[in-house]
Amino acid sequence: MLFDERQFSSQPAQACSISHSGEPDEHVRADDISVRSREGGAAHAWRGRLFDIVFALTVLIAVLPVVILLIVLFKLESPGPAFFVQQRIGRNGVRFPCLKLRTMKVDAAARLEALLATSPEARAEWEANHKLKNDPRTTAFGALIRKYSLDELPQLINILVGHMSVVGPRPIVDDEIWRYGHHFAEYCSVRPGLTGLWQVSGRSNTTYEQRVALDCLYVRDRSLALDVKIIFRSIPAVLNSRGAY
C-alpha cells in the first residue's frame, strides 16, 4: 500500500514567534518574469484548481512508466522503500504528507546528525540554506534524479489530492517556518507548488532570504498567466539542473 490513511490527517502548524527583518526585496531578480498583473482571488482559485487537476492528471499518466522505471533502478541500488513521505506545511498552515521518490540512504537522519556534529562548514551551510550541496545522505542514483528533479514527480499525486498546486512556493518543513517570520502568513495563504518563481530564479543558488522574497512576490501578484509563464520557464531550468542539488 502506497499511503497510510493516518498520514493524511490534517494538523495546523504552529506559527513561530521569531521575526524576519524587512519586507521582500524589490530588487530580487525573478528572471524577467512579469509579476505585476493579479487576478481576483476567487476567479484565480477555481481556474487555478481546474488547471492543476488537468495538468497533474495529464502529466502523471505520461510519466508513470518513467516513475516505475526509476523505482526499479533505485531498488537495484539501495534497499528500503521507494517512496519518502515527509510532513510539510501547506495552505492555511495545515501539514500534509509530501511525496517524493527516495533518493537517500536508509540511515540518512543519522548520517546528517553525525556530519553536522563533526563539520562546522556543513553545519553553517545547513543553517544558512537547509540544504547541503555535497550531501553524504544521497545515493549515487538518487543524486542523479535529484539533479533533474525527477524525485518530485510523485507530488503530482499531492496536486490531485489538493495538498499542492502546480505553481506556488515550495513546501517547507517545521524547521523552516522561522525563516519566513511574519511572511509565514503569506506562505500559508496559497497551496505550495511543484514549481514556482524561486525554482526559475536560481533555486538553491539564491539565499534563503531571496527565496522568501520571491515566494512573497508570487503570492502577492499571482495569476494564471504568471503560472503558465513559470511552468514554461521551469522546463529549461530543470533540464539545465540550475540550482538543483
Nearest to 158 by CA among 201, 98, 227, 114: 98
C-alpha cell at 98: 509530501
pTM score of the predicted model: 0.77
Following DSSP, what letter does each residue of 145-199 receive, concatenated? HHHTTGGGTTHHHHHHHTS-EEESSPPB-GGGHHHHGGGHHHHHTS--EEE-TTG
The dihedral region occupied by 106, where left means phi > 0, alpha psi between -120 and 50, and beta the remainder, is alpha
Instruction: Measure the N-to-C terminal CA separation of the chain; round to a whole number of Å.
Output: 29
Crossing angle of helices 41-77 and 140-147, rounded to 10°? 150
List Cβ neighbours of 165 (8 Å cut-off, separation of 6 or more). Answer: 48, 49, 52, 159, 190, 191, 192, 193, 194
Give pLDDT tens digits along the chain (245 positions).
332 333 333 344 443 333 334 444 444 444 445 444 455 566 667 888 999 999 999 999 999 999 999 999 888 888 888 899 999 999 999 999 999 998 887 777 787 778 778 778 878 877 777 777 777 778 888 888 988 899 999 999 999 999 999 999 999 999 999 999 999 999 999 999 999 999 898 877 888 999 999 999 999 998 889 999 999 999 998 888 765 54
Residue type, 194: L
Whether 156 and 56 have beta carbons less than 8 Å apart is answered as: yes
User: What is the C-alpha to C-alpha distance for residues 33 and 56, in angstroms, rounded to an integer?
Assistant: 23
User: What is the C-alpha to C-alpha distance for residues 28 and 20, in angstroms, rounded to an integer?
Assistant: 17
Distances (CA, A) of 137 to 15, 123, 175, 244: 29, 14, 19, 16
- Neighbour count for residue 160 (Cβ, 10 Å): 15
